[in-house]
Chains A and B, each alone.
Chain A
Amino acid sequence: MKQYLILMRPLWSEMIGSFSRGFGLGSRKKRKKQTSRGASIALYGFIFLMLSFYSVVYGIGITQASLLAGNPDGFIRMAAIGVPALVLLFGILQTIPTLYHESGLELLLVLPVKPSVIIAGKMTQAFLPVMVFPTLVFLPALITHGILTARTWMFFVQLLPFMILITLAPFALITVLVMVLMRYTKFARDKDRFQMITSVFAILLAITFSILINLQTSSGKIPGFSLVSGEPAPLLQGALLYLPSSGFGAGMLVHADSWRTLVYGVAALAVNALTLTLLFSLAGKLYMPGVLGLKAGGKQAKRLSPEKQLKALSPRSPYRSIVNKEWKLLLRTPAYFTQTVLGAVLLPAMMIIILAVLLANLEKSGNLDFSLINFLRLWASSDQWKESSWLLMLIVSGVAAFFSGTNMMSASAISRQGALFSYTKLMPVPIRIQVLAWLTPGLTTMTLIWLILTIGLTVFLSASWFFGLVVFLTSWINAYLVQMAGFYTDMIFPQLDWTNEIQPVKNTKAAMVSSLGMFVYIGVLAGFVFLIRMLTGGNSLLTSFCLFLFALMFAILATSLVMKRAGKLLRTLDI
Chain B
Amino acid sequence: MIELKDVSKSYDGIRNAVDQLTLDIRDGEIFGFLGPNGAGKTTTLKLITGLLSLDQGTITVNGFDIEKSPLEAKQLFAFVPDNPDTFQRLKGIEYLRFIGDIYGISKEAREERVADLTRRFDIHDVMNQMIRTYSHGMKQKLILAGALLHDPEVWILDEPMTGLDPASSFQLKQLMREHADAGKTVLFSTHVLEVAEKVCDRLSVIDNGRLLFVGTMAELKERYSEDTSLESLFLRLVGEADAVAG
Binding site for B on A (CB under 8 A): 30, 32, 192, 296-298, 300-304, 309-310, 312-318, 320-322, 324-325, 328-329, 332-333, 419-420, 422-423, 425-430, 570-572, 574-575
| A574 and B97 contacting across the interface, CB-CB below 8 Å | no
A298 to B90, CA, bound (A): 11
Given A30-B11, A32-B12, A314-B107: A332 in contact with B81 (beta carbons within 8 A)? no
Check A329/B93 contact, CB under 8 A, given A422-B51, A427-B102, A574-B52.
no
A575 CB contacts on chain B under 8 angstroms: 46, 51-52
- Complex alpha-carbon distance, A537 and B100, angstroms: 61
Q: Is B205 an interface residue (CB 8 A)?
A: no
Residues of B72-92 at the interface with A, using a CB-CB cut-off of 8 Å, are 72, 74-75, 79, 81, 83, 85-87, 89-91
CB contacts (< 8 Å) of A315 on chain B: these are: 100-101, 104-107, 110
Find out whether the CB atom of A429 lies under 8 angstroms from the CB atom of B132.
no
Interface residues of B (CB under 8 A from A): 11-13, 46, 49-53, 67, 70-72, 74-75, 79, 81, 83, 85-87, 89-91, 93-94, 96-98, 100-107, 110-111, 114-115, 124-125, 127-130, 132-133
Report the minimal beta-carbon distance from A248 to chain B, rounded to whole angstroms: 44
Contact B50 A425 (CB under 8 A): yes
Closest beta carbon of chain A to B86's beta carbon, Å: 7
Q: B46, B72, B87: which contacts A325 (Cβ < 8 A)?
A: B87
Q: Determine the chain A residues whose CB is within 8 A of the CB of B132 once the complex forms.
A: 296-298
| Chain B neighbourhood of A300, CB < 8 A | 129
Partner of A298, one of B104, B124, B129: B129
Q: How far is the CB of A564 from chain B (nearest CB, A)?
A: 18
* Interface contact A312-B13, CB-CB below 8 Å: no
Task: Name the B residues within 8 Å of A422 (CB-CB).
Answer: 51, 81
8 A-B pairs closest in CB distance: A321-B101, A428-B74, A428-B75, A332-B89, A301-B128, A298-B133, A575-B51, A301-B129
Write the nearest CB–CB distance from B30 to chain A, whole angstroms: 21
Q: Give Cα A554 to B83, complex, Å.
A: 41
A315-B101, A324-B98 known; 4 other A-B pairs, CB under 8 Å? A298-B133, A315-B107, A419-B85, A428-B75
Q: Are A572 and B53 in contact, with the CB atoms below 8 A?
A: yes
From B110, which residue of chain A is reached at the shortest CB distance? Answer: A313
Assess whether B74 is in contact with A427, with CB atoms less than 8 Å apart.
yes
B90 touches A328 (CB 8 A): yes
Listed A/B pairs (8) with beta-carbon separation below 8 Å: A32-B12, A297-B133, A313-B96, A314-B107, A315-B101, A321-B101, A571-B67, A574-B51
Bound Cα distance from A419 to B87, whole angstroms: 10
Known: A427-B74, A575-B51. A328 touches B104 (CB 8 A): no
- Nearest CB to that of A330 among chain B residues? B89
CA distance A428 to B154 in the complex (A): 14
For A320, list chain B residues within 8 Å (CB): 101
Q: Is the CB–CB distance between B89 and A304 below 8 Å? A: no
Q: With A302-B128, A315-B107 as known contacts, state yes or no: A325 contacts B98, CB within 8 Å.
A: yes
Query: When chains A and B are docked, how far (Å) is the Cα of A321 from the Cα of B98?
Result: 6
Contact of B102 with A429 in the complex, beta carbons under 8 Å: yes
Cβ–Cβ contact A426 & B74, under 8 A: yes
* Cα–Cα, bound, A572→B70 (Å): 13
A420 touches B86 (CB 8 A): yes
Q: Across the interface, do B87 and A317 meet the contact criterion of CB distance under 8 Å?
A: no
The docked-state distance in angstroms from the alpha carbon of A193 to that of B106 is 36
Q: Is the CB of B97 within 8 A of A313?
A: yes
Shortest beta-carbon distance from A305 to chain B in Å: 10
Residue from A318, A322, A329 in contact with B89 in the complex, judged by beta carbons closer than 8 Å: A329
CB closest residue in chain A, given B74 = A428
B85 touches A420 (CB 8 A): yes
Are B114's CB and A425's CB within 8 A?
no
Measured in the bound complex, the distance between the Cα atoms of B50 and A442 in whole Å is 29
Whether the pair B125, A303 counts as a contact (CB closer than 8 A) is yes
